[in-house]
């Protein structure tokens, strides 16, 4: 294999991370292609920077793999851009770190823009709305022959869905750190999030810093989390209530500090996976299941759904009361952790959501499936 290429193979996805013509990320599912564009700091691009790290890692059990890159822009304070993309099931978690050191005056910071090429049927948007017991409904828009704008705001979207004519769906979502995507205001700068395109392709623009006259350059490291997912074929049986392998997340006794905060002093009955209280109880349950699991045992957990939450305590930010976040990345983390533990006894855990719109999200839909292990070579 070309040492300047890293190949990625997941269910229904093939990807290449390449240095042949500067750093590039390209992922194909069905007849469509998602291209991740490198970070741009004003006129300086990660694509042409000096690469210090370019590695692929794979877990021994084959349940996950990751790509790690680090680029240094050889100008001025020499900012560093680090990225880690972790693949599991049919989703990829992305962490992008930008080290600005002593500050670097730039006109804008374009973070991980995306281009999706193929025959597009429609585009769906889920906004960031607080105070709801479940996620907001998808707002669908048909793709036309002429370019149109599907979303344009200073605030980030929660999820963008791009449905292709062949039935495949790409999902691009913000990470748990919703507050960070508005970091421009901290430096008296603007932000811009835009989704636009037509029936031949869609572009997603994420400008997390747009300089104004009174703006200050970022003085410290910036970290952003997000994810993308793609649709896969279903191999999941219907959940069977009453069986010994059937678990209901809502039956788990949870103190208030483990629940979703909808508004100040107003809590949902649903737990937040970002809360330590939830994770401790969840992991204790899975360890107990793993201890008594038999070969090929399969466990089902229902009512596993992501939520938008305001409890700063869930993020160990004790000095704050409210801090906007949501828990889909931690749901992915706990699904992977549980299946990694259960795999040792030949068993597995499937997550099921209940809401129709939530069930149809590729990221959530994928976690009720059990995938063949990836070749770790």
Q: Which residues pair with 223 in a beta bridge?
A: 97
SS3 track for 14-82: EEEEECECECEEEEEECCEEEEECCCEECCEEHHHCEEEEEEEEECCCCCEEEEEEEEECCCCCCCEEE
Q: Other C-beta atoms within 10 Å of 113: how many?
A: 17
pLDDT of residue 75 exceeding 80, the answer is no
3 state DSSP class of 121: strand
Q: Which residues pair with 148 in a beta bridge?
A: 197
pLDDT of residue 55 exceeding 90, the answer is yes
pLDDT at residue 271 in the model? 95
Tokens describing residue 292: 């008594």
Span 196-254, pLDDT tens digits: 999 999 999 999 999 998 888 887 789 999 999 999 988 887 777 766 688 999 998 88
Q: Which among 170, 149, 148, 179 has a CA at the least distance from the CA of 230?
A: 170
Tokens 């200050």, located at residue: 216
Q: Other C-beta atoms within 10 Å of 236: how many?
A: 16
Q: Other C-beta atoms within 10 Å of 276: how many?
A: 12
pLDDT of residue 377 exceeding 80, the answer is no
* Whole-number CA gyration radius for the chain: 21
Q: State the average pLDDT over residues 302-311.
A: 95
Can you state the angle between helices 276-292 and 328-343, rounded to 10 degrees?
Answer: 20
Element (H, E) at 315: none
pTM: 0.94
Q: Are 208 and 214 in contact (CB under 8 A)?
A: no
Confidence of residue 376 (pLDDT cuts 50, 70, 90): very low
Q: Which among 371, 369, 327 has a CA at the least distance from the CA of 352?
A: 369
Q: Other C-beta atoms within 10 Å of 15: how many?
A: 22
User: Nearest 10 degrees: CA dihedral of 274, 369, 357, 269?
Assistant: -40
Q: Which among 188, 224, 192 has a CA at the least distance from the CA of 208?
A: 192
């Amino acid at each position: 294999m070309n040492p300047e290429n890293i190949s990625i193979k997941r269910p229904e996805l093939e990807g290449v991370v390449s240095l042949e013509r500067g750093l590039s990320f390209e992922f194909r599912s069905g007849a469509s292609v998602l291209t991740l564009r490198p970070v741009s700091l004003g006129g300086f691009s990660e694509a042409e920077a000096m690469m210090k790290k370019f590695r692929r890692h794979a877990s021994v059990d084959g349940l996950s793999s990751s790509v790690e890159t680090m680029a240094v822009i050889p100008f001025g304070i020499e900012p560093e851009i680090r990225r880690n993309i972790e693949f599991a099931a049919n989703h990829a978690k992305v962490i992008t770190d930008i080290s600005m050191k002593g500050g670097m005056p730039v006109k804008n910071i374009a973070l991980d823009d995306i281009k999706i090429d193929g025959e597009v049927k429609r585009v769906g948007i889920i906004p960031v709305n607080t105070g709801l017991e479940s996620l907001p409904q998808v707002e669908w828009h048909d793709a036309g022959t002429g370019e149109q704008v599907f979303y344009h705001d200073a605030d980030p979207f929660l999820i963008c869905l791009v449905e292709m004519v062949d039935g495949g769906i790409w999902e691009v979502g913000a990470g748990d750190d919703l507050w960070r995507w508005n970091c421009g205001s901290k430096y008296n700068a603007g932000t811009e999030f835009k989704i636009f395109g037509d029936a031949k392709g869609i572009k997603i623009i994420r400008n997390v810093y747009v300089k104004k006259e009174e703006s200050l350059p970022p003085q410290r490291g910036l970290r952003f989390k997000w994810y993308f997912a793609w649709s896969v074929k279903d191999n999941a049986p219907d959940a069977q209530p009453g069986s010994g392998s059937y678990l209901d997340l809502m039956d788990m006794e949870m103190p208030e500090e483990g629940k979703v905060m909808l508004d100040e002093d107003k809590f949902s009955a649903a737990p937040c996976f970002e809360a330590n209280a939830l994770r401790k109880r969840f992991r204790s349950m899975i360890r107990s299941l793993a201890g008594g699991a038999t070969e090929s045992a399969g466990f089902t957990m229902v009512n596993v759904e992501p939520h938008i939450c305001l409890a700063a305590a869930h993020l160990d930010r004790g000095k704050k009361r409210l801090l906007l976040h949501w828990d889909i990345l931690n749901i992915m983390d706990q699904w992977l952790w549980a299946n990694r533990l259960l795999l040792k006894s030949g068993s597995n855990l499937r997550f099921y959501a209940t809401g129709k719109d939530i069930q149809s999200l590729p990221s959530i839909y994928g976690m009720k499936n059990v995938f063949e292990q990836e070749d770790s070579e």
